[in-house]
Homo-oligomer: A and B are copies of this chain.
Amino acid sequence: MESLSLDRQSAVPLYFQIHLHLLKEIRSGRFKAGKPLPSEELISKRLRVSRMTARQALKSLCSLGVAYSQRGKGTFVSEIKLEKNFREVQSFTEEMEARGSRPHSKLISSEVVPASEEAAEALHLQPGEKVIRIRRVRVADTLPMGVETTCLPHELCRDLLEKFDPRHSLYRTLSQVYGIHIVQADEVVEAGLADSEESRLLRIPKRSPVFLFTRTSHIKSGKAVEYVKSTFRGDRYKITNRLGQFSNDNSLGGKA
């Protein structure tokens, strides 16, 4: 706190400068888990900002899950570790890079076809409307991890098959070429056994345990832009989830 001086000319909002500073101090161990952060009043006085600005900084830490507030008591550092590998919405590519593996993909097929019934429903398309369908084997380092079939509305990105190298990240191409940013995904996971095609592609014994994923991805407005079915091997792939922290999110701020 003492060392921080705010840059009032900066494009970075004051509350976010304070947010970043507190976050750094928490990570450095200056503020320990379970211990109070400076109060709104104190931040307000020390840094000469209004209490609402100080409050917004603290609230944005709460919405990150780094801190929590208790009325009448203060705002405290959460004991929950953030750095664990929880699944955000991210492509296979990003997920593997985050785990320290080198991801790539082998293309099985890519084509424009009429949407299947389930894909049409998930993507809110008329029956028979066209989708781009890409089938790939997903590989981490040299280990085949899963087989994935992705469907995107053809309307959304007509020339995708020319612009997209299937060995790289689809999400990055969507984001960089088309400005389509996937921010949320709804997913159903089932446990099953590998069929013969899957066991051949993944080089695992037939009837090995596998995860079956069905995922619908959304952009910020909630519009569905991707429908994916995939099979991942159960012996090498784990899912890490964080549940909750939805309904108890009394947040006042936050930054993308």
Contact = CB atoms under 8 A, between A and B. Distances in A.
Given A221-B76, A253-B251, A209 B184 contact: no
Interface stretch (A20-28, A109-117, A186-194): A186-194
A80 B220 CA distance: 9
A256 B242 CA distance: 18
A189 B189 CA distance: 10
Interface in A173-217: 182-193, 209-211
Contacts of A10: none
Contact of A191 (B86, B87, B209, B244): B209
B234 A248 contact: no
Interface residues of A, number: 56
A217 to B, nearest CB: 9
Contacts of A250: 253-256
A190 B240 CA distance: 9
A146 to B, nearest CB: 11
A67 to B, nearest CB: 9
A55 B190 CA distance: 41
Given A249-B251, A249-B254, A251-B249, A188 B238 contact: yes
6 contacts: A79-B218, A80-B186, A183-B244, A189-B189, A250-B253, A251-B252
Interface of A: 33-34, 63, 65, 68, 76, 78-80, 84, 86-89, 182-193, 209-211, 218, 220-224, 234, 237-256
Given A63-B251, A189-B189, A252-B253, 7 more contacts: A63-B249, A68-B220, A78-B221, A183-B244, A185-B243, A187-B239, A250-B256
